[in-house]
Amino acid sequence: MATGASSARENEARETQEDLQTDSLPLEEQIRRRAHEIWLKRGGHAGSDVADWLEAEREITREERI
């Protein structure tokens, strides 16, 4: 059973994923939102912001090349 906090994080991650599907967003905003989603999936713990950003950047730019 999900707690209120984890349920809220899951909802936010779902909304973020839906927003990422909007091609009209600037690249930096797409990366920022994906990095935030990655951070949420890790439990929202501090300390990996650069790694999250780089992973998001790789994912987003890979999708754009396809």
- The reported pTM is 0.62
Per DSSP, the chain holds a count of helices (H) and strands (E) of: 3, 0
Average pLDDT along the chain: 81
Nearest-angstrom CA–CA distance, 51 and 66: 23
In tens, the pLDDT along 34-46 reads 999 999 999 999 9
**More reliable by pLDDT, 9 or 58:** 58
